[in-house]
Amino acid sequence: MVGGAGWLNDPVTATPATHGPHRRPPPSTRAVALSELRGVLGLPPGAGPADPSGADPAVRGVTLDSRHVLPGDLYAALPGARHHGAQFAGQARASGAAAALSDRPLPGLPTLVVPDPRAVLGPLAAHLHDHPSHHLEVYGVTGTNGKTSTTHLLDAGLRSAGHRTGMISGIRVRTPEWSRPAQRTTPEAPELQETLAALREQGATSAAVEVSSHGLALHRVDGTRFRAAVFTNLGRDHLDLHGDQESYFAAKASLFAPHRCALAVVNVDDAHGRRLAAQVRVPVTTFSAAGRREADWRATEVRADADRTSFRLLGPGTDRRVRLHLLGTHQVDNALGAVAALHAGGLNVEDVLRGMEDLTAVSGRLQRIDEGQPFLALVDYAHNVAAQRRLLPFLRTLTGGRLVVVLGATGERDPGKRGPLGRTAAQLGDVVIVTDESPHDDDPAALREAVAGGARGAASAQVHVEADRDRAIRLAVSLADPGDVVVVSGRGHDGQLVAGGRTRAFDDGARLRAALAQLARGGRAPTVLLPEDQVRKSMVARPPCSSR
């Protein structure tokens, strides 16, 4: 389709062409002899335990999950946090795996043995699919916040500029012929290469791909060539994986290595962005939403309200006002990154801006929920302090009243960010309602306490603790006065809560809408009565808004 459109009005219908149990590799996938793959890895002929029969089986696909093996696949048996894939060799063999890749020989399967199989999986999958990224213009986006939004803006711009394109984002994976919900931000290498191959086969000319730091550190994008890559920003996040901020930055920076990407597009409002721009060895285009004069692309005269966001765009040969439907000043950063990348990639700025200006929303990113209530209610995906620091001051500008923030912390992720999440919400909001997100196997009460402890420490907001997320949302609605702003943060589009090994459907937008509809039906507020010990008020009087 030409003419940008967001997911909310995307014309592509979902078909079950998924990776996973319904995996359907592109028909064009060629058969490659195992000996050829051995050559790709630089293994000498016959090195490592070969098939005792001396056969040289044809490999037609690759997967790292025994449950998804199709006949002829190479099964990559990887060491994991809970299992070693070698445990599942029997299942892979029974499903028709032709061969294996692992750090040890697998019984009954000719195995390519390398010390770090994850590290060679991407190049192998790319080889098997004839390097699809070399035949597409692939635009990547990395950074702590703004990846999904920027990816959607890139997609909208590519489409309005006439590209037949695909999008691999943390919300959905879409090709011209099918679309499905994403399982993770950046797919594992076999799925990524398979999707890029499907794009090529379906006549796509380009793709916008979200690249998480997990994706980089876990080699998921190895074997992929990017026409241009955007760096949005770096805040504290994912230290559970990276250990420290320096390693986190190094993971992000690795996307911009010359073997991966041809052009770097970097946000120089961000300190790590400035560092990256100074160190990369590919041509760099810079952008600044703060209007820095040294940037190649910059925004001035930014106006952002509850309906839209606009700014004056200044760049090579460009000086024009841009009007976005997306809400929040941070979307100016994201739009600048997208426009700079597409211009660097050779596209016409007016063509791409048309699509970006038509993009109506990105699911769960500052999405307004309106049921006629006399206050603003929104859902957002902010789940780290850096995002809160952009989001909450913006929302403050939309209210002369109070800012009510519903938040929690996901379990099994960096414990060090829980207290700061609560503290920042309390510093920048007036009413903080701490609730459960997805605790996974962590203790939900301990997670709530860590967030609430941070919030109480800030001592400037009213702090409530309500374990049940639905009740927390209804509490927020019941507490809102005309003119206030309510934001349910942290989950965005994510329609599931995971606790104690069980997953249940839970959509923040739908629950917020239901609470607002109940308010509209019942007059004032759907009263939520909480046991006294669940309500903690660290401060009853709130500071005047003007003091913030």
* Contact string (CB under 6 A) for ligand ATP, positions 465-504, x = contact: ---------------------------x------------
The one among 65, 194, 380, 436 contacting ligand ATP by CB under 6 A: 380
What is the 3-state secondary structure of 498-515? EECCEEEECCHHHHHHHH
Is 148 known to sit in a ligand binding site?
yes
Helix axes 385-396, 418-428, angle to 10 degrees: 10
The one among 387, 404, 447, 514 contacting ligand ATP by CB under 6 A: 387
CB count in 10 Å sphere of residue 294: 9
The one of ligand ATP, ligand UAG, none whose footprint includes residue 184, by CB under 5 to 8 A per kind, is ligand UAG
Decide: is 80 part of the binding site for ligand UAG (CB under 6 A): yes
Separation of alpha carbons 70 and 95, rounded Å: 6
CB of 36 to ligand ATP, least distance (A): 36
Separation of alpha carbons 139 and 206, rounded Å: 8
Decide: is 330 part of the binding site for ligand ATP (CB under 6 A): yes
Tokens representing 294? 């040294």
Decide: is 437 part of the binding site for ligand UAG (CB under 6 A): no
Is 454 known to sit in a ligand binding site?
no
Separation of alpha carbons 357 and 32, rounded Å: 45
Decide: is 67 part of the binding site for ligand UAG (CB under 6 A): yes
Tokens representing 60? 């037609």
Question: Within its chain, how far is the Cα of 484 from the centroid?
Answer: 29
CB of 233 to ligand UAG, least distance (A): 13
CB of 166 to ligand UAG, least distance (A): 17
Decide: is 501 part of the binding site for ligand UAG (CB under 6 A): no
* Contact string (CB under 6 A) for ligand ATP, positions 142-181, x = contact: -x-xxxxx--------------------x-----------
The one of ligand UAG, ligand ATP, none whose footprint includes residue 188, by CB under 5 to 8 A per kind, is ligand UAG
The one among 73, 137, 155, 333 contacting ligand ATP by CB under 6 A: 333
The one among 185, 186, 206, 373 contacting ligand ATP by CB under 6 A: 185
**Residue of 528, 458, 522, 469 whose CA lies nearest to 497:** 469
In the bound state with ligand UAG, the residue whose beta carbon lies nearer, of 82 and 521, is: 82
Decide: is 232 part of the binding site for ligand ATP (CB under 6 A): yes
Query: Is residue 260 a contact partner of residue 224, using CB atoms and an 8 Å limit?
Result: yes
Decide: is 382 part of the binding site for ligand ATP (CB under 6 A): yes
The one among 129, 390, 474, 491 contacting ligand ATP by CB under 6 A: 390
Contacts with 532 (C-beta within 8 Å, 6 or more apart), sequence order:
none
CB of 527 to ligand UAG, least distance (A): 36
Return the range that interacts with ligand ATP (CB under 6 A); candidates 68-76, 138-146, 196-204, 298-306. 138-146
Exposure string for 10-24, b = 16+ CB within 10 A, e = fewer: eebeeeebbbeeebe
Name which of residues 183 to 222 contact ligand UAG (CB under 6 A).
184-186, 188, 212, 214-215
Separation of alpha carbons 19 and 397, rounded Å: 43
Q: Where are the alpha helices (DSSP H) in 207-359?
A: 213-217, 239-242, 245-253, 271-279, 330-344, 349-358
In the bound state with ligand UAG, the residue whose beta carbon lies nearer, of 184 and 368, is: 184
The one of ligand UAG, ligand ATP, none whose footprint includes residue 215, by CB under 5 to 8 A per kind, is ligand UAG
Provide DSSP, 453-522. HHHHHH-SSEEEE-SSHHHHHHHHHHHPPTT-EEEEES-TT--EEEETTEEEE--HHHHHHHHHHHHHHH
Is 149 known to sit in a ligand binding site?
yes
The one of ligand UAG, ligand ATP, none whose footprint includes residue 195, by CB under 5 to 8 A per kind, is none
The one of ligand ATP, ligand UAG, none whose footprint includes residue 82, by CB under 5 to 8 A per kind, is ligand UAG
Residue nearest to ligand UAG (CB): 80
**Bridge partners (DSSP) listed for residue 300:** 312
Pairing relationship of beta strands 206-210 and 137-142 according to DSSP bridges: parallel
Kindly calculate the radius of gyration of the chain based on its CA atoms and give it in whole angstroms: 24
| Strand runs labelled E in 103-245 | 111-113, 137-142, 165-168, 172-174, 179-181, 206-210, 228-231
- Return binding residues: 64, 66, 143-149, 185-186, 212, 220
List interacting residues with ligand ATP (CB under 6 A).
143, 145-149, 170, 185, 212, 232-233, 330, 333-334, 365, 380-382, 386-387, 390-391, 492
List interacting residues with ligand UAG (CB under 6 A).
64-67, 78, 80-83, 85, 88, 184-186, 188, 212, 214-215
